[in-house]
Amino acid sequence: MTRMATAALAIAAALALAAGGASAQAPKRGGNLTFAISAETPHYDCHGSDTYATLHFSAPFYSTLLQFDLPKYPAVKGDLAESWTVAPDLKTYTFKLHRGVTFHDGSALTSADVKATYDRLRNPPAGVVSTRKATFSDIGTIETPDAQTVVFKMKEVNAAMLEHFASPWNCIYQAKLLGEDPNAPKTKIMGTGPFTFVEHVKGSHVAGKRNDKYFRQGLPYLDGFKGVFTLQAAAMLNAVQGGQVLGEFRGISPAERDRLVQAMGDKVRIEESSWTLNLLVLFNTEKKPFDDVRVRRALNMAIDRWGGSQGLSRTSTMRAVGGVIRPGSPMATPEAELVKLPGFSKDIAKSRDEAKKLLREAGVPNLSFTLHNRNLAMPYTPAGIFLVDQWRQIGVTVDHKQYDTAPYLAGMSSGNFDVAIDFSNLFMDDSSLGLAKYLSFSRAPENRSRSMDAELDSLYDRHMRELDPGKRRGLIQAFEKRLFEQSYQAPLLWWHRIVATHKTVMGWEMSPSHNLGQDLARVWLNQ
């Protein structure tokens, strides 16, 4: 009897706990989320940007065709698309759009808006920059048989096309707005996202309020949000610690994590992941002496990535050594192969001797130049300090200059630099995305080294058509070999993502990319 009573009590307690747990996890409506954005976007246009500063600002105002399903990453799910079909030959993609979707001005979204958006992405008009131009160049035609249907017919097969349709950068714009001014999205926000635009106070914050006509019933949970620009890491940490902001969704360093945990105890939630993001060393191939492959290769070979990885991973967000694909992901080049490539040898003394010899041969044994870098403490400043030291060891003098995000990007985009620290900000691991940044400048405006290399373009195209994983991996390695031998640009180190949020922030999902899951539609506050 006693045993039965105990068992009954235990079952009742378990059920009560389960019920309590479930009710504790039930999303609550209301409240305003204030979070930190460590950089201020130079413009609002998702299509022409590859910095998170634009996405963390703009994503809550926009929708995309598909989205990544973060708990099942890299699986995708519908956003504006209610359903979709893919032809067996991977050459036709048909999307059915949700009905009743409206832009923030009240006008209805139709397939014409999707077509106008993707036309702008794949073939931007004069004066418009689309950093996804190379990715979507495989699209042959876009048809709109009715207001709710969009059909993409491909010129060539791209095995990862469905994931590209889920790219967070493909914000769907209003066809009417693009017709009036193709550059309007740079300065005007008009989307179908869960939040409507309230204000952007330059140097301070961006604010949005709930879109009451959002097409997903019951979403968003929040009344509104405020993204506060905290350009100084110390200010951001103090704000998180003091509760002025409830989190920062890009990532913090191990030291910053430890500080927050020590100060906030169980009030802070820490989530960690490897990161689809790396820093690149970039040489302006249109400027002397960086038009000389010997100079570029020498500077690339002087960098002790393996030593740097061990040291910098203790104090910064930089961690893993890798090629153009995230280390550890299926298509990444294994370490045994990587160490054979210029700049990745573990015998750094030998590499530096070779580098000095190359500089002498190029006639610039005492080279000096300016390193163009971003004024973001983590991890750009440690990367700059590290590179200055590495190049000093082969007799190269470097003047390190750091700029705020807008002039930093403008300087690189206009080619007004010698050597720069750039970034490869990927939202997935697929090589069709990872390799695109290194294509010829004419095909890929995001290639800020301005290099033109037909061999790399050809290897990329061949790998895109190759459906056999083994052969595809071989082509990626051939691509890397050519890239690092030419050293137009090369990864420095891959990052490790650590995100700290107050435990009152619920519904936000961690992923290997800080570009994903930022529309805030399912985020709610447990307070």
Partner 1 sequence: MAVAEAAPAPAPAPASPGPAEAIAARSRTAALRRFCRQQPLGAVSLVVILAMMVAGLLSEVVAPYDPLAIDFAGILSPPSWQHWAGTDAFGRDVFSRLIHGSRTALVIGFASSFLGSTIGAVLGAASAYFGGRIDDLIQRLVDILLAFPLIVLALVVVAVLGKGLVLGIDVNLICAIAIPIVPRVARVVRAAALSVRVMPYIDAARAAGYSHVRIVFRHMAPNLVAPYLIMLTAHIAQAILLEASLSFLGLGVAEPTPAWGLMLSGNASDFFREAPWLILFPGLAISLAVFAFNLFGDSLRDWLDPRFKL
Query: Which H helix or E strand runs over 130?
Result: none
Binding of partner 1 at residue 377 (CB under 8 A)?
A: yes
* Two tokens, residue 42: 């130079």
Name the residue nearer to partner 1 (CB basis): 96 or 400.
Answer: 400
Give me the count of residues in the chain.
Answer: 527
Task: Provide the strand spans (E) within 341-428.
Answer: 368-374, 397-403, 419-425
Query: Which is nearer to partner 1, 279 or 464 (by Cβ)?
Result: 279
Number of residues binding to partner 1, judged by CB under 8 A: 29
What is the nearest approach in angstroms of partner 1 to the Cβ of residue 250?
16
Can the peptide bond before residue 379 be classed as cis, meaning omega within 30 degrees of 0? yes
Check residue 384 for interaction with partner 1 (CB under 8 A). Answer: yes
Question: Which residue's CB is nearer to partner 1, number 27 or number 395?
Answer: 395
> Dihedral (C-alpha) 29, 34, 40, 42: value to the nearest 10 degrees?
20
The window from 116-124, 150-158, 218-226, 305-313 that contacts partner 1 (CB under 8 A) reads 305-313
Residue partners of 4: CB distance under 8 A and separation at least 6: none
Distance of CA 450 to the CA centre of its chain: 21
Contact status: 399 vs partner 1 (CB under 8 A):
yes
486 token code pair: 């030419």
Among 113, 248, 256, 453, the residue binding partner 1 under the rule CB under 8 A is 256
Which span (67-75, 280-288, 382-390, 422-430) binds partner 1, by CB under 8 A? Answer: 382-390
**Least gap, CB of 311 to partner 1 (angstroms):** 3
Residue from 172, 178, 233, 520 in contact with partner 1 (CB under 8 A) = 233
Nearer to partner 1 by Cβ, of 85 and 416: the residue is: 416
Q: Are strands 505-506 and 419-425 parallel, antiparallel or unpaired?
A: unpaired
C-alpha closest to that of 312 among 516, 71, 89, 496 = 496
The residues that bridge with 195 in the sheet, in sequence order, are 210
Judged by beta carbon, residue 157 or residue 388, the one nearer partner 1 is 388
Based on CB atoms, which residue is closest to partner 1, 166 or 377?
A: 377
Report the DSSP pairing between strands 368-374 and 397-403.
parallel
Q: Give, as one character, the DSSP assignment of residue 53.
A: H
Site string for partner 1, 307-346 (x = CB under 8 A): xx-xxx-xx-------------------------------
Least separation in angstroms between residue 305's CB and partner 1 is 12
Name the residue nearer to partner 1 (CB basis): 293 or 388. Answer: 388
Least distance (Å) from partner 1 to the CB of residue 385?
5
Radius of gyration of the CA atoms of the chain, in A: 24
Residue 273 or 375 having the CB closest to partner 1: 375
Question: In the structure encoding, which two tokens stand for residue 235, read together?
Answer: 């200010």
Between CA 291 and CA 284 the distance in angstroms is 7
CB of 400 to partner 1, least distance (A): 5
User: CA dist 138 to 48, 92, 127, 436, Å?
Assistant: 19, 11, 22, 13
Q: Does 232 bind partner 1 (CB under 8 A)?
A: yes
Min dist. Cβ of residue 237 to partner 1 (A): 9
Q: Which residues contact partner 1 (rule: CB under 8 A)?
A: 232-234, 253, 255-256, 259, 262, 307-308, 310-312, 314-315, 375, 377, 381-382, 384-386, 388-389, 392, 399-402
